[in-house]
Amino acid sequence: MANRTKKGNVTAQARKKSGMQGGSKSGKFPVFDEKSARSAIKLRHHGKGVSASSVLAKVSRWASAHGKSGILAAVKTARAKDASK
């Protein structure tokens, strides 16, 4: 299954498979590679019905499972930035 189109956008199948589950947040913030994880961190405050902390938790779980220490550091920085606000 291709997760991205030729233009680089996320496909509907990838959004359904790796996006957030349940209710109004279904399919939002798909995380399946490093690029999608970084964009989810960057856009964490832009989703209706989805809290920024749940987006960061999803990205953190993915990064831990795939051994991406750079993403985990970015999540830690984002959590500190959110806590200071």
Cα–Cα dist 81/17, whole Å: 29
Is the full-model pTM beyond 0.85?
yes
- Most confident range, picked from 23-27, 50-54, 60-64: 60-64
pLDDT > 90? residue 27? no
pLDDT > 80? residue 25? no
Mean pLDDT of 36-60: 94
